[in-house]
Structure 1
Amino acid sequence: MSITAWIALVVVVAVVWALIKRWETRMVLIASGLFLCIISWDFLSGLNSMANSMVNKSLVQAICASMGFAFAAKYTRCDSSLVHYLASPIRGLGIFLLPVCTVITFFVNIAIPSAAGCAAAVGSTLIPVMLRAGIKPAAAAAAVLGGTIGSYLSPGTSHNPYVANMAGMDVMTFIGTHATYSVMIGVISAVGILIVCFFMGDHKGDKNATVDESKLKKEDADFVPNPIAALVPLVPITLLLVGNLWVEEIKMGVAPAMTIGAICALAVARVNPQTFTKEFFNGMGKGYADVMGIIIAAGVFAAGLKSAGLIDSFVTALKESNEIARWGGSIGPYLMGIITGSGDAATLAFNETVTPHAKDFGMTIEGLGGLAFLAGAAGRTASPIAGVTILVSGIAMVSPIEVVKRTVLPMTISVILCAILMV
């Protein structure tokens, strides 16, 4: 390798260290990428990558519209209505509340693609239900956490339009390529958490178990569930599925489907349209700042690695054995997800730099890209420092370490099976 490639390798280690220390992800990636471009005498490469990512039509539309809809569903309490009606029939199931709550969270997370947003909506309702049923707090929190893998079946999740665009296919078509494996992880999560919790005696209850009332939704006292509002979060997903699978006349993109869903939320909830509009666009802005921001930063970092020559060296090594790519694209993002609490940065960097070359070592872009982001999500679900883990642990008033003790084994099994089956 060249001198710049060796320097790039040191920079990668420094980036991992910075992410472990919880430094601002976008700052770390952009600064590292521009530094590598400078020492490679290719400064404009990083800036051009940033500029191109800023106006990526398919990504901006899907991500910003989905976050706008998520904010609209939260403001109108449509998400709370959906959780209420899903949770009502399950009381009295004992320890079997655990897999049922995981499945409910998985299902809701498809409609509400934000893991933290979904966990807040579901956890504030289901965790108290599980505690009253005699389930220990750590198990209750783990059941909700284990279901947050469901977002990867949502067309609004950043990785779906990102890899689909790279593979040159429609978002829904790409989701179809990994849907079986996403559902498989959901099943392993539900069954695995149940088995682990059973052997840990979590069904024997905890007399001192309680929830942190300050973390529950303050407006719950005034909340009146609406069965029609409960259907609103399902509108965009339904439109996309029906349009892509059965009715060609209503086939549409992610952004139009999410906008229609938001309009339905406004019509059903009959809230102040001015405030509603502000919330929708606040969500769109949040989506650009938080989600697109990481994608843009990962692109700059990838440009730096390319300019330094590290990517060419890495791809050459991968061509000699697809086993390196198989396990590098699964175990790598998985471990980074656990260590950093976020699977996004590592997954996006991998998919930006390595996945475009998938065909060179006998794989498909959609297969390797899907494997990387599912592994990253599994790592986040097994991480004690992930935002969603801290959130559900806070509601259940238990240590995050105790929660991930119940999710790490199912997630590890899931990643190994995906690595074997997906590519």
Structure 2
Amino acid sequence: MIYVGAFIAIQFIIVTAILLYRNHNPQGVLLIMGILMMTIGLFIGLENVDVTGTTGLVAFDLFKKIEETFTSNLMNVGFMIMTIGGYVDYMKRIKASDALVYVSMQPLSLFKKFPYIAAISIIPIGQILFISIPSATGLGLLLVASIMPVLIRIGVSKLTAVSVITACTVFDMGPSSANTLRASELSELNSISYFLEYQLPIVIPMTIVLMLLYYITSRYYDKKDAAKKPAQTEKVVHENFDVDVPLIYAVLPLLPIVLLIVFSRYLQLFNPPIELNTTTAMIISLFVAIIFELIRVKSITKMFENLKYFWEGMGKVFASVVTLIVSAEIFSNGLISLGFIEALVQGSTHLGFSGAVIGVIIAIIIFLAATLMGSGNASFFSFGPLIPGIAQRFGMVPVDMVLPMQLSASMGRATSPIAGVVIATAEIAGVSTFELAKRNMIPLGGTLLFMLIYNQLFL
């Protein structure tokens, strides 16, 4: 029966892809397809609706699942995304983003001749930040607010700037990553040992390959796009730029990142330790920005007038980003309820391949599942519990199978047009989620191939 469910899931995936390609509302498509898959899963007896406290009627439980998905997202990542979206809009309104661009352009002016080197240099820096800020969407939005304007001014396109920003989040690593914690648990290792002894040795060469691939593909796509609209590209690169706010405002877009790094558990600068999460750092930064504005405009009325753009930014992000993330999660639940993930695993193990080949196949499947589901956590957590048993069956050390699977999940996420980080950064930057996912596919597909070969030969 599980293969019947998987076959039905594939039909839904095809229909969903067609509807999205035809520009139907993505929230509506994903939500309705997810509910339909969950309903069919119930009828064929594959899975019950997982809700906290049933309503007493299965049909109503389906809709309660939507409510709980909205609630859980709003309480966690949803509110964080909304505060970041509001902060980004507020930074634009008070021209703090302009100040950051102006200040950054001075030392980066030498990169005007090498804009793509500047762009790919963001990747390792962002990955270091990702260890301290283990939220792909959160870090992506922070970098869109602070780094993207700089990259655009030195001559790369919006899509190139956003794509290298999402590349900063393609390796879930460090002890704060949920996938890392789960992977270390499945590997029966301490999370620090897993990070230092297993993740870093493979992520470092993967990062070099990733940077090279982004350099090549970004230049190719930008030249291709520039041929279609040369006048617009010329304007972006050579337009004069000045600011009419104090240059101290340049610190405001970067302030949340600075706070998150300084007040993290890893630096241990304070005793007892002080730790901030992303949302708290955004709110603190907002109040600092309000004080800056009050000093500059010397008018409480004007200060409050500008502050409304923070709330409006939160509302826009809720309507465009949070609703899409919730719909994507319902769609993911629908795939799981039809046994799509379990069928993929069972089908791979029954083909009679060796443990190494099975590991490669499952890593590729997880990459594709993350692309389809828009979530590295969902795809890895779905497969993860099965890995130790598969490794034991083939006489392998669990970490040798777990590591490439864990990394492939986070890479697959960045190639998905329904992933939170892709949706959020694309919406804020004003680019197409599908174009962004397409930009990421070749570099991440190539890096996945490199990882699988490198893992077999050297680790």
TM-score, normalised to structure 2, is 0.63
User: 1:284-322: per-residue Cα shift (whole Å, max 9, x none)?
Assistant: 333333333233213322333344343443343466634
Q: Which moved more, 1:318-327 or 1:261-270?
A: 318-327
Code of the residue aligned with 2:33 in structure 1: it is: S
Cα root mean square deviation, aligned: 5.1
Code of the residue aligned with 1:26 in structure 2: it is: Q
Q: Which moved more, 1:301-310 or 1:45-54?
A: 301-310
Q: Which residue of 2 aligns with 1:48?
A: 64
Alpha-carbon distance, 1:186 to partner: 6.3
Q: Which residue of 2 aligns with 1:346?
A: 373
Q: Which residue of 2 aligns with 1:372?
A: 409
User: 1:326-360: per-residue Cα shift (whole Å, max 9, x none)?
Assistant: 11222555xx5xxxxxxxx6323x64366234121
Give matches, 1:89-238, under 5 Å: 89-93=107-111, 95-103=113-121, 126-127=151-152, 129-130=154-155, 144-149=161-166, 152=169, 187-188=208-209, 190-194=211-215, 210-211=231-232, 223-224=244-245, 226=247, 228-238=248-258
DSSP-derived class of the 1:330 partner: helix
DSSP-derived class of the 2:414 partner: helix
Classify 1:254/1:215 alpha carbon distance in 2 versus 1 (closer, same or farther; 3 Å): same
Gap regions ≥5 residues in structure 2:
44-57, 186-190, 351-357, 389-397
Alpha-carbon distance, 1:259 to partner: 0.5
TM-score, normalised to structure 1, is 0.67
Q: Which moved more, 1:54-63 or 1:270-279?
A: 270-279
Classify 1:182/1:285 alpha carbon distance in 2 versus 1 (closer, same or farther; 3 Å): farther
Q: Which residue of 1 aligns with 2:384?
A: 358
Query: How many Å separate the matches in 2 of 1:366 and 1:291?
Result: 30
Code of the residue aligned with 1:230 in structure 2: it is: A
Alpha-carbon distance, 1:99 to partner: 0.7
Does 2:311 align with 1:281?
Answer: yes
Q: Which residue of 2 aligns with 1:64?
A: 82
DSSP-derived class of the 2:7 partner: helix
Q: Which moved more, 1:278-287 or 1:104-113?
A: 104-113
Code of the residue aligned with 2:65 in structure 1: it is: S
Asked if the contact 1:113/1:154 (under 8 Å) is kept, the reply is: no
Code of the residue aligned with 2:93 in structure 1: it is: Y
Code of the residue aligned with 1:415 in structure 2: it is: L
Query: How many Å separate the matches in 1 of 2:315 and 2:180?
Result: 23
Q: Which has the larger radius of gyration?
A: 2
Asked if the contact 2:164/2:214 (under 8 Å) is kept, the reply is: no
Alpha-carbon distance, 1:15 to partner: 1.5
Q: Which residue of 1 aligns with 2:283?
A: 259
Does 2:361 align with 1:324?
Answer: yes
Query: How many Å separate the matches in 2 of 1:200 and 1:50?
Result: 39
Does 2:239 align with 1:239?
Answer: no
Does 2:34 align with 1:33?
Answer: yes
62, 75, 79: which is aligned to 2:97? 79
Code of the residue aligned with 1:328 in structure 2: it is: I
Asked if the contact 2:171/2:407 (under 8 Å) is kept, the reply is: no
Query: How many Å separate the matches in 2 of 1:285 and 1:154?
Result: 30
Q: Which residue of 1 aligns with 2:188?
A: none
Code of the residue aligned with 2:315 in structure 1: it is: G
Q: Which residue of 2 aligns with 1:339?
A: none
Query: How many Å separate the matches in 2 of 1:168 and 1:265?
Result: 40
Alpha-carbon distance, 1:142 to partner: 6.7
Does 2:439 align with 1:412?
Answer: no
269, 275, 280: which is aligned to 2:293? 269
DSSP-derived class of the 1:22 partner: coil
Query: How many Å separate the matches in 2 of 1:179 and 1:154?
Result: 10
Classify 1:33/1:141 alpha carbon distance in 2 versus 1 (closer, same or farther; 3 Å): closer
DSSP-derived class of the 2:169 partner: helix
Alpha-carbon distance, 1:237 to partner: 2.0
Q: Which residue of 2 aligns with 1:133?
A: none
Q: Which residue of 2 aligns with 1:136?
A: none
Q: Which residue of 1 aligns with 2:16?
A: 15
Gap regions ≥5 residues in structure 1:
131-138, 337-344, 395-399
Classify 1:115/1:22 alpha carbon distance in 2 versus 1 (closer, same or farther; 3 Å): farther
Asked if the contact 1:330/1:371 (under 8 Å) is kept, the reply is: yes
DSSP-derived class of the 2:374 partner: helix
Report how many aligned residue pairs link the two structures: 379
Classify 1:14/1:30 alpha carbon distance in 2 versus 1 (closer, same or farther; 3 Å): same
User: 1:79-133: per-residue Cα shift (whole Å, max 9, x none)?
Assistant: 2222222222232446433212443598689799586996697666654544xxx
Code of the residue aligned with 2:253 in structure 1: it is: P
Classify 1:239/1:371 alpha carbon distance in 2 versus 1 (closer, same or farther; 3 Å): farther
